[in-house]
Amino acid sequence: MRSEHGRVDVLINNAGITGTFAPLERATSDDVLDVLDTNLLGVMRVTNAFVPLLELSENARIVNVSSGVGSFQDTIEFDYFDWQVVPPVYAVSKTALNLLTLKYSRALPAMRVNAADPGYTRTDLNAGAGAHDVSQGTTSTSLVTYLPNRGPRPKTRSPCSPAGPSARTAPR
């Protein structure tokens, strides 16, 4: 890729599996490792392999395709607790992916690193049961891929500040 294209501008980590639909208390460690291997470690392997090529771009972007089922807020607000509807191990892998995304955004400040949620999209992942088609599902990914250079970045408060440790996303 380096000899043919010289650099990489955009990396989209899209690969993901739902893995086991077992409830947490019946999931085996192999079930969990299987899901984390693709949804979390896969993202790290691919990202780390591509960082040297992304560093050659003046406008590098990394987009991790995550899911609202990994959001604490969505989980509570939309009651994603039925393991037959939302596979819990998958959900946990996406929560971990969200934090991984935040960590990469701090580790690679010259790049824009974001997560996107396609929403419930008709694909093989859900045997075509999604609520909307792929063209709608890819909107969020396109949106964060083409964020302007001064788009959202994580902003941190010092752990020593009176309000204690926290992180939130805010425009720079």
Ligand X SMILES: NC(=O)c1ccc[n+]([C@@H]2O[C@H](COP(=O)([O-])OP(=O)(O)OC[C@H]3O[C@@H](n4cnc5c(N)ncnc54)[C@H](OP(=O)(O)O)[C@@H]3O)[C@@H](O)[C@H]2O)c1
Residues of this chain that interact with ligand X (CB under 6 A) are 14-17, 38, 42, 65, 67, 117-118, 120-121, 123-126, 130
| Cα–Cα dist 61/137, whole Å | 19
Of 27, 57, 64, nearest to 140 by C-alpha is 64
Our CB check for ligand X shows the closer of 1 and 160 to be: 1
Euclidean distance between CA atoms 146 and 148, whole angstroms? 6
Report the candidate in 165, 29, 47, 39 with the shortest Cα–Cα distance to residue 92.
39
Closer CB to ligand X, residue 119 or residue 152?
119
Selection from 71, 56, 60, 58 nearest residue 12 by Cα: 60
| 80 has catalytic annotation | yes
State the minimum distance, in angstroms, from the CB of residue 163 to ligand X. 32
Least separation in angstroms between CB 34 and ligand X: 9
Closest separation in Å from C-beta 109 to ligand X? 25
Nearer to ligand X, 57 or 123 (CB): 123
* Best CA proximity match to 40, nearest among 9, 61, 20, 64: 64
CB closer to ligand X, 48 vs 166: 48
In Å, how far are 9, 15, 16, 103, 124 from 89, measured between CA atoms? 32, 16, 12, 21, 18
DSSP secondary structure letters along 113-136: EEEE---SB-SGGGTT--SB-HHH
Give the chain's largest Cα–Cα span: 52
Cβ-closest position to ligand X: 16
User: At its nearest, how many Å lie between ligand X and the CB of residue 77?
Assistant: 16
Active site residues: 80
